[in-house]
Structure 1
Amino acid sequence: MDFFPNLLHLALLSISFSLIFLNYKQKSTRAKFPPGKKGWPIIGETLEFVMNLAVFCGAQGNKFLFSKENKYVTSWWPRSMKKALLFPEALGNSSKEESTIMRSFLPEFLKPEALQYYVPIMDSMAKEHLELDWSPYNKVKVFPLSKKYTFALACRLFMSIKDPNHVTRFADPFALVTAGLMSVPINFPGTAFNSAIKGGKIIRHELLSIIKQRKKELSENKGSSAAHDLLTRMLLASDENGRVMNEKEIANKIIGLLIASHDTTSTAITFVVNYLAEFPQVYHDVLKEQKEIAKSKGPKDLLNWDDIQKMKYSWNVACEAMRLSPPAQGAFREATVDFTYAGFKIPKGWKTYWTAHSTHKNPKYFQDPEKFDPSRFDGNGPTPYTFVPFGGGPRMCPGKEYARLEILVFMHNVVTKFKWEKANPNEQITYNPSPIPVNGLPVNLEIRKF
């Protein structure tokens, strides 16, 4: 019954947007903006981004955005993503503010002494994961299992959660959140975004319970077993003014870290396994390196920091996998002032975006770019600003070294335990936004015998 009035309102709204758009366009004719179309409002190219977006390409584009952080641009994420992840009170906070607070706590957690402590934990958890979730089967799907492993590891190191059932209570709603973060932000029952909103609420509620319990344990001097985890450090830390974060602020930061630490790393691990299956000689060379390390250990010895430093070829392989299939496609920035780049004006408020693909597969920077060649990373490696899986500049991923340890520890365990081949050599890859094997990368397993 209300169809025609609603249709009239929609038509009037569309006309109003169009008039605003045309008026803006007339006023902007004197400025030289980047090439491309902004599209018409509501429909066309602005269906996904009702905004102005400038994509910076190439090594120079990367260098410019990375080096102009906090001068011309600042970090930015769509409000819809914040709505799915954060408590409502934090929606008005700038991405720069949230990131600055988070980074003030990470150096302590990610300094070399702390990272050395994580290596044997990563090793023991990788062994347990492969024994329980891989060994009993002739065929497994790598992508969902890698997500399970990296998420369980993050729960252990960030919050000292060891109970698999407790981890699952987090993992299930997190799957809803990650699946809906980059979807069309329509909060209507049945949509991916609506599921992400619901998943975010469950996670925040669960985190608040954990934080309250940890505060109680600390007040009763029962928190010594969790002294190394990030949650305890956040509860005990304060800024230069003596202010401590409240429970909701801590929960927001933990959510962000869980998303960042397990989603992209699990993608990197998946594609390492993928390329090792595709290139037997590369697999053989990785195995040779890892067997030498394994032979130097006792039957019950776990990997340590020194062992990781010996995995040079394995890390070259991981880097080449991330070059060809970067887990993070790029990131947004927002212009904080009017500026000019390459002769084009970028007005204040415009969103900018750097993308790994503009350099990773560019023959200008990587000869024969589609070839899998780990030797590209020998010596000093690629030209600066061309290999950017972790970003760059002040906003380079602070967890880069954590991710390196996690990937290498997993590589050590999987190659020394299994041989494998892809069940579907022609499996397609989709992007959401990270690359994802459509069928989860099923592989046929064979337990290695020494």
Structure 2
Amino acid sequence: MGWPLMGEMFDFLWCFKFKRRPDDFIAKRKLRYGDTGIYRTHLFGYPAIVSCSPESNKQILGSKTEDGSFGPGWPSTELMGNSSIVAIDGLWHKKIRRHLIEAFNSPRALDSHLTSAQPIFIQALEDWASKRKIVAYDETKAMTFRNICEVLVSFKSKELLDTMESMYRGLMGGLRSMRIKIPGTAYHHALKCRKKLSNILLKEVRDRKEHGIQKHDFLQILIDSVDENGNKLNEVEVMENIVSLILGGYESTSNVMTWGLFYLAKYPEILEKLKEETRQIQKQKSKDEILTAQDIKSMKYASMVAEELIRLANVSPFIFRTVARDDVVINGYKLPRNWRVLVWIRSMHLDPRYFSDPLTFNPDRWDNFRPKAGTYSVFGAGLRYCPGNNFARVQVMMFLYHACLKYRWKLLNPDAGTAFQPHPRPRDGAEMIFERAS
């Protein structure tokens, strides 16, 4: 269990931040206790269970969540809101989830996504080419935040977006910190940032309702969404879920895009294959015509590239849950009620037993390949499977299409290595020369 109060956080930080070998944290426990797939620890201020086998992960994220054995374990409802889909459980979670799925999967949502996002990507890529030398990690974050705010809430003001991005960085800092509400702490700052973000988004929701304003974005779809019983979400439910969706889609998607530029620069044969698919699609279009929903469906190789990038990026190394009952047994081990559970998905995605040569960037592995249950959970699983998973995939595919269409890039430090805190990324942020191809 480690040191008093700190538990095994020293070892966790040593593996992730200083040694930069995060998989050693699990490997050491397997060596010490055997490959049981479930271990007791103390992390982030709480006694916890680490699950890292397909069988236990599948149960915890799937059937055992469905029967109420496990509930959400992170983040704090203080930061995400009492009606945010990431923090609620039971019938309320099902209600909110139905609205989000209907909104994400509607043809109206995909059309809004395609028409709003692509001009932003096109303009950003042109700006990068004019700079020529860029840090991809910084540029993709700025582009993705602008894009997700445009698609979700139609915010365009640079001043407003800069203010919101600063608040989201503060909110994210609080989610990763100890829950100490003392001025000067990350958690206290995050609470202030969350309040300001809530006020901005709640005002937008109320303005639209009071003045009959209709916009072509995800917020409008959520406001108008009606479930099978004819019920709509109230203003606070809409606002709190928009706060969560921007947070969930911001850093994770930009990280995958950064790794896309990184890996494609290191694997020119894959880049050329992707460019060939891009050229074939472009041949059927007029000069400045953007991608359509039908184009997205036809991009088989881009889809495989996106999936491989999502696997290797491993943006979230684990998923939190909480033991919600007294009689929970996993793999013969009885788990104490109210303990945190870390479903360690990272180790599954990089295990050669489930993915051959797992550290190699190989999109072709996804050609008619279905991973074993419990071994691939980048978007969660079961009742809490991320409703925006296809939204994220389409963003990555659109970005790759437009990057391959007119540009070329070269890494300045191809052997820079990887930093793993707060998310896996090239240590130099993927510094590169980015320019027009001709």
- 1:264-303 maps to which residues of 2 (within 5 A)? 264-303=252-291
Q: Residue 57 of structure 1: CA displacement? A: 1.6
* C-alpha distance in structure 2 between counterparts of 1:426 and 1:186, whole Å: 39
* C-alpha distance in structure 1 between counterparts of 2:228 and 2:194, whole Å: 31
Q: Does 1:382 align with 2:377?
A: no
SS of residue matched to 2:66: coil
Q: Does 1:330 align with 2:318?
A: yes
Instruction: Identify which of 76, 81, 86 aligns with 2:81.
Output: 86
Q: Does 1:55 align with 2:50?
A: yes
Q: 1:244 to 1:378 in 2, by over 3 A?
A: closer
Q: Partner residue of 1:17? A: none
Q: Partner residue of 1:8? A: none
Instruction: Identify which of 142, 161, 164 aligns with 1:167.
Output: 161
Does the Cα contact within 8 Å between 2:38 and 2:51 map onto a contact in 1? no
Q: Residue 180 of structure 1: CA displacement? A: 3.2
- 1:146-157 maps to which residues of 2 (within 5 A)? 146-157=140-151
* C-alpha distance in structure 1 between counterparts of 2:84 and 2:172, whole Å: 19
Task: Report percent identity of matched pairs.
Answer: 26
Q: 1:170-211: per-residue Cα shift (whole Å, max 9, x none)?
A: 222112212332123333444333332222122112112212
- Runs of 5+ consecutive residues of structure 1 not aligned to the other structure: 1-12, 15-32, 39-44
* C-alpha distance in structure 2 between counterparts of 1:382 and 1:335, whole Å: 27
Does the Cα contact within 8 Å between 1:328 and 1:434 map onto a contact in 2? yes
Q: Partner residue of 1:29? A: none
Q: Partner residue of 2:21? A: none
Does the Cα contact within 8 Å between 1:182 and 1:432 map onto a contact in 2? no
SS of residue matched to 2:290: coil
Structure 1 residue identity aligned to 2:268: P
* C-alpha distance in structure 1 between counterparts of 2:84 and 2:61, whole Å: 26
Does the Cα contact within 8 Å between 2:109 and 2:217 map onto a contact in 1? no
Structure 2 residue identity aligned to 1:275: Y
- 1:236-251 maps to which residues of 2 (within 5 A)? 236-237=224-225, 244-251=232-239
Q: 1:57-78: per-residue Cα shift (whole Å, max 9, x none)?
A: 2222222123212214344134
Q: 1:358-404: per-residue Cα shift (whole Å, max 9, x none)?
A: 21111111122222221210113433332221122222111111111
Does the Cα contact within 8 Å between 1:329 and 1:433 map onto a contact in 2? no
Q: Partner residue of 1:202? A: 196
Does the Cα contact within 8 Å between 1:179 and 1:432 map onto a contact in 2? no
Query: Highest Rg: 1 or 2?
Result: 1
Q: Partner residue of 1:415? A: 404
Q: Residue 409 of structure 1: CA displacement? A: 0.2
SS of residue matched to 1:286: helix
Q: Does 1:260 align with 2:248?
A: yes
* C-alpha distance in structure 1 between counterparts of 2:141 and 2:153, whole Å: 18
Q: 1:253-288: per-residue Cα shift (whole Å, max 9, x none)?
A: 110111112221111111111111221111111111
| Structure 2 length-normalised TM | 0.83
- Runs of 5+ consecutive residues of structure 2 not aligned to the other structure: 6-35
* C-alpha distance in structure 2 between counterparts of 1:314 and 1:303, whole Å: 13
Structure 2 residue identity aligned to 1:424: N
Instruction: Identify which of 101, 110, 114 aligns with 2:104.
Output: 110
Instruction: Identify which of 374, 383, 389 aligns with 1:394.
Output: 383
Q: Residue 125 of structure 1: CA displacement? A: 2.0
Does the Cα contact within 8 Å between 1:116 and 1:304 map onto a contact in 2? no
Structure 1 residue identity aligned to 2:197: I
Q: Partner residue of 1:71? A: 67
* C-alpha distance in structure 1 between counterparts of 2:260 and 2:55, whole Å: 28
Structure 2 residue identity aligned to 1:401: N
Q: 1:5-33: per-residue Cα shift (whole Å, max 9, x none)?
A: xxxxxxxx99xxxxxxxxxxxxxxxxxx9
Does the Cα contact within 8 Å between 2:69 and 2:328 map onto a contact in 1? no
SS of residue matched to 1:444: strand
Q: 1:295 to 1:434 in 2, by over 3 A?
A: same
Q: Residue 408 of structure 1: CA displacement? A: 0.2
Q: Partner residue of 2:9? A: none
Structure 1 residue identity aligned to 2:114: V
